Amino acid sequence: MLLALFLHAPQTASAQDFPALTGRVTDAAGIIPADVEARLTGKLEALETESHRQLVIATIPSLQGYDIADYGYRLGREWGIGDKNRNDGALLIVAP
């Protein structure tokens, strides 16, 4: 009887682990050279100043078995990218 209850118990979803947001470019996979990261950061700062829209670039070492669209949606929510009222943040993910 206990075995039957255990087998039919709902499975809890494992929590996703997200890297910390370290700036407009978050290189958690360690694939972007420092000079390139600095140039990208400058361009993203200019874009945000001109358009009032936020774009973040993230390299992720592992999607932890999740679909990239689902992972990206959850990561964007976790990081709070963009304006909450306009829902206008964008996230570019590279997962080598």
- Predicted confidence (pLDDT) per residue in 48-63, tens digit: 999 999 999 999 999 9
Domain ranges of the chain: 29-87
pLDDT recorded at residue 14: 55
pLDDT tens digit sequence for 15-74 = 689 999 999 999 999 999 999 999 999 999 999 999 999 999 999 999 999 999 999 999
pLDDT recorded at residue 1: 44
The CA–CA distances, whole Å, from 70 to 23, 51, 63, 77, 88 equal 21, 26, 10, 11, 17
The answer to whether the beta carbons of residues 39 and 23 sit under 8 Å apart is no
